C-alpha cells in the first residue's frame, strides 16, 4: 500500500486518504458562482489562463469541462469555445476541431475579430503521447499552448493522470480539478479550494462514448507563425 501511495500524484494521494464518498466539508455545486469556475482565465487581469482536469476514465472529466464551456459562453456573448470533444449536433459558438488545421483557422478568426476563445483539449494525454513519437511535434504543441493567452485564449487540458500532464502545461496551470466520480470532484482554483458535490450533468450534448481525437494535419510551427497580430484591444470577459 505504501508503494502504491508513493506512486500517486498529489491530488490522487489526497483522494486515497480522504474517501471520495465522505462529503465532509464539500460544497454543493449549486451555490458556486460561474465566476469561480472562470477565475483561472480572468482573475489575472483577463489575459487568459490555464486549467487542468484529471481523473480516472468515465468519472466525469469531460462533463465538468462542458459545464465550464457553458459558463464561458454565458460570460461573454461573443466568445467561442474550440474543442475536440465530439458533439451530438452543432452548437452555437462551439467549434469542433478534428485537428491542427481547424484549430489554426479558428484561432486566426478569433484573433482577427478580437474574440475571447477557450481551447478545450480532451483526451489530451493520449494525443500528446502519440505526437511524442513524431519528431518535434509534441514540443511544437507545447510551444503553442504557452502562447495561447497572448492571443486572447485560454486552455483547458483534460487527462486521466495528473502526472501525465506535460511539464510546460503543468508549470502554467496553477488551477486544477480532480474528478473522483460523476458529480464529485476536488478543485484548486484561485478563490475556491476543496471538494464539490452534486455536480450536475452538462446541458452540452457531447457524446460521452466517443473518443476525442486530434490530428496533426498541419505544421504547428507554421500555424504559430501564421497567427495574425491581434487588434489594438481584445474584449474582456
pLDDT, residue 134, reads 53
pLDDT, residue 48, reads 87
pLDDT, residue 129, reads 57
* Structural domain of 125: 25-225
Can you give the CATH number for the domain in which 208 is found?
3.40.50.300
pLDDT, residue 46, reads 59
- Does some domain include residue 145? yes
**Which residues of the chain, if any, have pLDDT below 70?**
1-24, 44-46, 124-139, 231-237
- Does some domain include residue 99? yes
pLDDT, residue 212, reads 81
Q: Three cell numbers at 135?
A: 519528431
CB 63 within 8 A of CB 180: no
- State the pairing for strand pair 50-54/80-83: unpaired
Residue of 49, 113, 53 whose CA lies nearest to 80:
113
pLDDT, residue 13, reads 38
Provide the number of structural domains found in the chain.
1
pLDDT, residue 45, reads 58
CA distance 63 to 73: 15
- Which residues partner with 192 through β-bridges? 189
pTM score over 0.75? yes
Amino acid at each position: 500500500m505504501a508503494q502504491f501511495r508513493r506512486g500517486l500524484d498529489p491530488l490522487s494521494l489526497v483522494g486515497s486518504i480522504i474517501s471520495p464518498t465522505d462529503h465532509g466539508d464539500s460544497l454543493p455545486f449549486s451555490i458556486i458562482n460561474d465566476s469561480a469556475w472562470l477565475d483561472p482565465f480572468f482573475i489575472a487581469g483577463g489575459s487568459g489562463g490555464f486549467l487542468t482536469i484529471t481523473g480516472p476514465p468515465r468519472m466525469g472529466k469531460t462533463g465538468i469541462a462542458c459545464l465550464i464551456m457553458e459558463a464561458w459562453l454565458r460570460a461573454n456573448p461573443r466568445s467561442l469555445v474550440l474543442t475536440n470533444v465530439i458533439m451530438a449536433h452543432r452548437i452555437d459558438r462551439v467549434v469542433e476541431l478534428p485537428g491542427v488545421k481547424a484549430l489554426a483557422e479558428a484561432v486566426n478568426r478569433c484573433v482577427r475579430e478580437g474574440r475571447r476563445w477557450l481551447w478545450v483539449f480532451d483526451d489530451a494525454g493520449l494525443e500528446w503521447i502519440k505526437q511524442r513519437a513524431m519528431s518535434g511535434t509534441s514540443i511544437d504543441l507545447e510551444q503553442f499552448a504557452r502562447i495561447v493567452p497572448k492571443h486572447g485564449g485560454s486552455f483547458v487540458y483534460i487527462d486521466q493522470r495528473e502526472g501525465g500532464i506535460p511539464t510546460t502545461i503543468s508549470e502554467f496551470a496553477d488551477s486544477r480539478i480532480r474528478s473522483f466520480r460523476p458529480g464529485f470532484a476536488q478543485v484548486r482554483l484561485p478563490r475556491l479550494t476543496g471538494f464539490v458535490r452534486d455536480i450536475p450533468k452538462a446541458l452540452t450534448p457531447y457524446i460521452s462514448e466517443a473518443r476525442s481525437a486530434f490530428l496533426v494535419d498541419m505544421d504547428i510551427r507554421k500555424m504559430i507563425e501564421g497567427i495574425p497580430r491581434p487588434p489594438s484591444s481584445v474584449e474582456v470577459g
